[in-house]
Amino acid sequence: MLLDALLSRRLVVLTGKGGVGKSVVGAAIALAACERRRRVLLVEIKAPVAAAALFAGPGPARREPGPAGREAEVRPGLYTLNLDPAAVMDEYVRRVVKLEILARRVLESPVYHRFFAAAPGLKELMTLGKIMVLEEARARFSHRPLWDLIVLDAPATGHGLQFLKVPLAASAAVPVGPIGHNARRVLALLRDPAKTALVLVAVPEEMAVVEAVQFHRLAAEDMDMRPAAVVLNACHERRFSDDEEAEVLRLTAEGADGTLEPDVPLSAALRAARRQIRRRKLTRFYEARLRRNVDAPLVSLPFLFREALSLDDVRLLAGLLEAA
């Protein structure tokens, strides 16, 4: 099963065009893993709306995100972490310098701030280094992994590949020293299919599918990374049989008039039905296109007609992933 394959890894990296619902899919994967009694960490990168909000609901859960840069338990065994690259860099400086008074001088230096702002790829490398540290973390006494699974909501595909390529560039540019050494360790983690699963997320729309296909090709060519799965989110499910669709089209062509219910004109119902038929056909078209162009299992998740998603919605999506 798809979820079995994902949860056999230590790190699941989600990427896709902005607005395709990566955070929701990541939350669903994390919840499904948690319900299998895994200790899970869902990581976002400077997210304006923390994933913790998706887990608000009855039962023992936090309704507010934890402090930035610190893990917050939102369900028993499920934690979220919103990483700020600047804070990650500060943490690295403190770990290297060790003496707090000296570290504070470095962090307060204008030269340090200019260097951090200008150095290409440094924020991304530090962030991925933090992910590696989290993956390697072990409990103090048992020495078991602190996290059974880390789910990383990576940047959108427009920046996602550059984000993942930073360790490759750094390892080539800095052949010696701690930065180059850590870059090679991060790169090894990302490329290890036994530890890391790359998941592409798209919606049944042209640009989202085009970006997913391009990301698949470039990730294989540039990073030697291949997706473990593709999630087509916000799919419109079929609601009419072939005969019902034909009847909708016939009535529309004839200009049928009347009412279905008080205050529900037949013409408005026919427009809504035609829209649903058209969206379902587009969903089938893009499903087929992804299957042709991306060599990975594909799972479709339904469009949820909600202004804002709830914990029950995340549970529904987690159940569908469990059944895929």
Q: What is the CATH number of the domain that holds 200?
A: 3.40.50.300
Residue 19 lies in a domain: yes
Confidence band, pLDDT 50/70/90 cuts, at residue 58: low
Tally the domains of the chain: 1
Structural domain includes residue 85: yes
Averaged pLDDT for residues 119-130:
86
What one-character-per-residue DSSP string does 58-126 give? Answer: SSS--SS---TTS-EEEETTEEEEEE-HHHHHHHHHHHHH--HHHHHHHHH-HHHHHHHHHSTTHHHHH
| pLDDT value for 57 | 60
Q: 185-189, 190-194, 264-268, 310-314: which range is least confident on average?
A: 264-268
pLDDT at 68: 58
Q: For 177-186, what is the mean pLDDT? A: 87
Q: How much is the pLDDT for 313?
A: 94
Which residue segment(s) compose the domain that 253 sits in? Answer: 2-92+120-323
The residues, ordered by sequence, that sit 6+ positions from 322 with a Cβ below 8 Å of its Cβ are 1, 3, 32
Within-domain flag for 103: no
Helices 266-293 and 242-253 sit at what angle, rounded to 10 degrees?
Answer: 130
CB–CB of 202/290 below 8 Å? Answer: yes
Residue 302: count other Cβ atoms within 10 Å of its Cβ. Answer: 14
Of all residues in the chain, the percent with pLDDT exceeding 90 is 55
Q: Any idea which of 125-134, 213-222, 254-263 has the lowest mean pLDDT?
A: 254-263
pLDDT of residue 28: 96
Residue at 102 is within a domain:
no
| Residue 107, in any domain of the structure | no
Is 165 within a domain?
A: yes
Q: What is the pLDDT of residue 62?
A: 47
The answer to which of 27-36, 46-55, 184-193, 247-256 has the lowest mean pLDDT is 46-55
| pTM of the entire predicted model | 0.88
CA atoms within 13 A on the CB side of 305: 3
Q: Quick one: pLDDT at residue 54? A: 84
Element at 208 (helix H, strand E): helix 206-218
Kindly report the backbone phi and psi dihedral angles of residue 223, in degrees, each rounded to the nearest multiple of 5, phi listed first.
-115, -5
- For 42, counting Cβ atoms within 10 Å of its Cβ (0-12 exposed, 13-18 middle, 19+ buried), the class is buried
Please report whether residue 281 resides in a domain: yes
Is residue 245 situated within a structural domain?
Answer: yes
